[in-house]
Structure 1
Amino acid sequence: MITSIATDMDGTLLNGNMEVSEENRTAMKKAQELGIEVIVATGRSYKEARFALEGTGIECPIIAVNGAEVRDARGEIVQFTAIEDDLAYDLYRRLKDVGVYFEVYTNQATYTDDAEKAVELLIDIVLSAHPDANVEDIRERAKLRIEHGLAKKVNDYEEIIRDTSQHIYKFFVFSTDRELLQRAADRLDGIDGVAVSSSGNENLEITNEQAQKGITLENYLTSKGLSLEDALAVGDNYNDLSMLERVGYSYAMGNADTNIKKAARFETSRNEESGVARAIEDALERSAVK
Structure 2
Amino acid sequence: MIKCIASDMDGTLLNSTQTISEENKEAILKAQAQGIEFVVATGRSYQEATYVLAEAGLKCPVIGVNGAEVRSKDGEVLAATPISKELARKVAAKLVEKDVYFEVYTDKGAYTIDADKAVSILVDIVVSANPEANVKEIVEAAGARIRDGLIHTVEDYEILFASDDYQIYKFLAFDFDADKLEEANESLAELDNLAVSTSGHENLEITNKNAQKGIALASFVEAKGIELSETMAIGDNFNDVSMFEAAGRSVAMGNAGSYIKSLCDAVTATNNEHGVAKAILEVLLNDIN
SS for the counterpart of 1:195 is strand
Question: Identity rate of aligned residues, in percent?
Answer: 50
Provide the TM-score with structure 2 as the length reference: 0.96
Please, which runs of 5 or more residues in structure 2 have no aligned partner?
none
After TM superposition, give the deviation of residue 61 of structure 1 in Å: 0.2
Q: Name the residue aligned to 2:199.
A: 199
After TM superposition, give the deviation of residue 85 of structure 1 in Å: 1.9
Aligned-partner residue type, residue 70 of structure 2: V
Change in CA separation of 1:185 and 1:66 when aligned onto 2, cut-off 3 Å: same
Q: Distance in 1 between matches of 2:134 and 2:102?
A: 25
After TM superposition, give the deviation of residue 58 of structure 1 in Å: 1.3
Q: Distance in 2 between matches of 1:162 and 1:94?
A: 18
Q: Distance in 2 between matches of 1:127 and 1:239?
A: 21
Provide the TM-score with structure 1 as the length reference: 0.95
SS for the counterpart of 1:245 is helix
Aligned-partner residue type, residue 215 of structure 1: I
Query: Are 2:105 and 2:111, in contact at CA under 8 Å, matched by a contact in 1?
Result: yes
SS for the counterpart of 1:143 is helix
Please, which runs of 5 or more residues in structure 1 have no aligned partner?
none
Q: Distance in 2 between matches of 1:127 and 1:259?
A: 22
Matched, 1:31 2:31: yes
Q: Name the residue aligned to 1:18.
A: 18
For residues 182-221 of structure 1, the aligned pairs below 5 Å read 182-221=182-221
For residues 130-169 of structure 1, the aligned pairs below 5 Å read 130-169=130-169
Query: Are 1:128 and 1:201, in contact at CA under 8 Å, matched by a contact in 2?
Result: no
| More displaced 10-residue stretch of structure 1: 132-141 or 251-260 | 132-141
Q: Name the residue aligned to 2:107.
A: 107
- Describe the superposition over 1:45-91 as per-residue Cα deviations: whole angstroms up to 9, x where unpaired: 00000111123221110011011111111111111100112111111
Aligned-partner residue type, residue 51 of structure 1: Y
Aligned-partner residue type, residue 135 of structure 2: V
Q: Distance in 1 between matches of 2:185 and 2:101?
A: 13
SS for the counterpart of 2:56 is coil
Query: Are 1:125 and 1:199, in contact at CA under 8 Å, matched by a contact in 2?
Result: no
Query: Are 1:45 and 1:110, in contact at CA under 8 Å, matched by a contact in 2?
Result: yes
Aligned-partner residue type, residue 60 of structure 1: C
How many pairs were matched up?
289
After TM superposition, give the deviation of residue 101 of structure 1 in Å: 0.4
Q: Distance in 1 between matches of 2:120 and 2:13?
A: 21
Aligned-partner residue type, residue 257 of structure 1: G
After TM superposition, give the deviation of residue 128 of structure 1 in Å: 5.8
SS for the counterpart of 2:246 is coil
After TM superposition, give the deviation of residue 137 of structure 1 in Å: 2.6
Change in CA separation of 1:139 and 1:212 when aligned onto 2, cut-off 3 Å: same
Matched, 1:230 2:247: no
Q: Distance in 1 between matches of 2:131 and 2:79?
A: 35
Q: Distance in 2 between matches of 1:129 and 1:180?
A: 20
Q: Name the residue aligned to 2:251.
A: 251
Change in CA separation of 1:127 and 1:259 when aligned onto 2, cut-off 3 Å: farther
Q: Distance in 1 between matches of 2:242 and 2:127?
A: 23
Q: Distance in 1 between matches of 2:254 and 2:149?
A: 32
Aligned-partner residue type, residue 196 of structure 1: V
Q: Distance in 2 between matches of 1:208 and 1:228?
A: 23
| More displaced 10-residue stretch of structure 1: 200-209 or 130-139 | 130-139
SS for the counterpart of 1:196 is strand
Q: Distance in 2 between matches of 1:234 and 1:120?
A: 28
Aligned-partner residue type, residue 18 of structure 2: M
Query: Are 2:251 and 2:268, in contact at CA under 8 Å, matched by a contact in 1?
Result: yes
Query: Are 1:269 and 1:278, in contact at CA under 8 Å, matched by a contact in 2?
Result: yes
Query: Are 1:16 and 1:272, in contact at CA under 8 Å, matched by a contact in 2?
Result: yes
